Structure 1
Amino acid sequence: MSLTPRWIYAFIVASCCALLGYALYTQYVDGLHPCPLCITQRAFFVLIALVALIALITNPHQKGRYVATAFMLLSSIAGGSVAYRQVWLQSLPPDQVPACGPSLEYMFSNLPFGEAFSTLMLGDGNCAEVVWTLFGLSMPNWSMFAFIGLGLAAIASALPMIKR
């Protein structure tokens, strides 16, 4: 069995599903409510998984692999940036943390889309709260590492030395 782009796409899809599954587990079983930045990170994991799934199903040639890689890499960079923003918010002293904002449902039902979207991307005081850690790192830290790994896997899927 040799390493092919399809195996890498399958790995990316499985990794994203596992990450999203654990996020849903912590939400519905452990009772950890996601903040706006957490939800945004989930959206980027879904986007990466969808692109990888389409590439897995269609098995594109070299140009298609470059396009899939570009979309997955851009999504990984964007998701990693959102995770980094949350890590930064969590590192702020308590007196510098922004005030907690309205719920996501309220923002999208009562604010113009542009304002709700910018509020979602910037995060608020809810995003600065550390409610879960593993080996001393919060969930956004681990998400940032996951986005880096997914980006590297996406790059590997487009390398010409990977056999088709």
Structure 2
Amino acid sequence: MLRPFAWPFRMQFLFGALACAALLAYAFYEQFQMGLEPCPKCIFQRVAFLAMAVFFLAGAAHGPGAVGRRVYAILVAIASAVGAVVAIRHLIVQFSPKDPLMDGCGPGLNYLMDSFPIAEAIKKAFMATGDCGEIGWTFLGLTMPAWTLIWYVLLGAGALWAGFRRR
């Protein structure tokens, strides 16, 4: 029973949705209970997990045929890849030498969305460097973006496995 690679597609995708929900719940716990404020890159990583959760949940609820399973798996993998790119960029910012002229991550995402067109706001959020470089949380020596990268890879690979394996 405890062989997740042998579970039916719907069970695997339900597990993926629950894993994404748990990761998001932990991020909100760190923000609202522990006071760890997210930077714009953190917000985009949360959006990627949310998109993955939606695709996982849709696949689990739908229970599609072979083609549908592959479509859902690819959608999850795309969201996972986007999140992984953001996490890698976040890690680069964290472990690059600090620029003394850049003393902040930039304005908050709400300000950017209110003040600029969406494309420019997203571009500015990705250009943030200051606070995004601060390391305020580690577990087993890895920062939060490193852990999110691990989860993106695991969940994306799991979705592809579930969607493309022979039944």
**TM-score, normalisation: structure 1:** 0.93
1:110 aligns with 2:153: no
Query: How many residues are aligned here?
Result: 162
1:5 aligns with 2:5: no
CA shift for structure 1 position 85: 0.3
1:65 aligns with 2:65: no
Q: Which residue of 1 aligns with 2:134?
A: 129
Q: Which residue of 2 aligns with 1:155?
A: 160
Within the candidate set 25, 29, 47, 2:29 is matched to: 25
- Name the Cα RMSD after superposition: 1.5
CA 59–112 in structure 1, closer or farther in 2 if over 3 Å, else same: same
Which contiguous aligned blocks of 4+ residues in structure 1 show a shift greater than 3 angstroms?
A: 96-99
CA 98–70 in structure 1, closer or farther in 2 if over 3 Å, else same: farther
Residues in 1 aligned to 2:81 and 2:101: alpha-carbon distance in whole angstroms: 24
8 Å CA contact 1:40, 1:82 repeated in 2: yes
| Runs of 5+ consecutive residues of structure 2 not aligned to the other structure | none
CA shift for structure 1 position 124: 2.5
Letter in 1 for 2:112: M
CA 97–6 in structure 1, closer or farther in 2 if over 3 Å, else same: farther
Residues in 2 aligned to 1:152 and 1:17: alpha-carbon distance in whole angstroms: 18
Residues in 2 aligned to 1:130 and 1:4: alpha-carbon distance in whole angstroms: 39
Within the candidate set 24, 45, 49, 2:49 is matched to: 45
**TM-score, normalisation: structure 2:** 0.92
Residues in 2 aligned to 1:137 and 1:130: alpha-carbon distance in whole angstroms: 10
CA shift for structure 1 position 155: 0.8
Q: Which residue of 1 aligns with 2:20?
A: 16
Answer 1 or 2: higher relative contact order, Cα 8 Å, separation at least 6: 1
| Runs of 5+ consecutive residues of structure 1 not aligned to the other structure | none
Q: Provide the identity percentage.
A: 34
